[in-house]
Amino acid sequence: MHSRKTRTPHMAHQEHSGTRTMSKKSERTRQRIVEAANRLFYHKGYHNTSFTDVVNASGVPRGNIYYYFKSKEDILHAALKYRLSRIEQMLQSWSERYRTPIERLNRFLEILPDSVDSLARYGCPMGTLNAELGKNDPALQAEAKAMFLLFEDWLTDQFAELGYAGRAREFARRLLARGQGISMITHVYGDRRFLMQETDLLQRWVNRLAHGDDQAEV
């Protein structure tokens, strides 16, 4: 009779390490798919992005993609979760880095000039996706709306801290609305100078509010 091979602690450690390595590799593969799809959804639109596009952009074989995601809608859910996570991290970093609400508001406004080239070519990643899903997939659009709500809540906090608690949400939505309008016009006309001029007006508005001018108009 053959003796039964004893499973040593060293063998168990090797098995555990191998499983952990495979798990990390699996996570990296899944993340590569999500990031590639996220870029495609922005550049081409959700409905114009095919599974083949995701395969080509991610470099992950189709069968492997189906292992992680059963449908394109599943990929969209993951991409939205990825976007939300990035927004949350960005807003948290601003809150920690900048001491005053006016500094944080001005940092928010810098998104426009920082992204001028992509806005001119593709439009706003939040606005374009919400507009597309709102026409054909209201349930999915409700999920995408969460990106706007994150910004709205954060901006509301900044305006409240600035001393405008009673109008903080109004100001937050006004800033978001102007930002969306600027992004749209920049995209339609490809006019980068317009974006810079309008951003300057918004910065003047928030700075006037910071100096107590609650009648300031934008």
pLDDT confidence of residue 22: 55
Q: Which segments of 98-167 does DSSP mark as H helices, in order?
A: 101-109, 111-114, 116-122, 125-136, 138-161
160: Cβ contacts below 8 Å, ≥ 6 apart? 168
DSSP 8-state assignment for residue 2: P
Cβ(69)–Cβ(75) under 8 Å? yes
Structural domain boundaries of the chain? Answer: 8-70, 98-218
Nearest residue to 141 via CA among 53, 29, 149? 149
3-class SS of residue 22:
helix
Torsion angle, CA of 129/135/141/147, rounded to 10 degrees? 40
Report which of residues 193 and 11 the model is more confident about.
Answer: 193
Phi, psi of 198 (to 5 degrees): -70, -35
pLDDT digit string, tens, across residues 25-73: 899 999 999 999 999 999 999 999 999 999 999 999 999 999 999 999 9
Q: What's residue 25's pLDDT?
A: 87
Asked if the 98-218 domain carries CATH number 3.40.367.20, the reply is no
Tens-digit pLDDT profile for residues 95-109: 999 999 999 999 999
Fold entry, domain 8-70: Arc Repressor Mutant, subunit A (1.10.10)
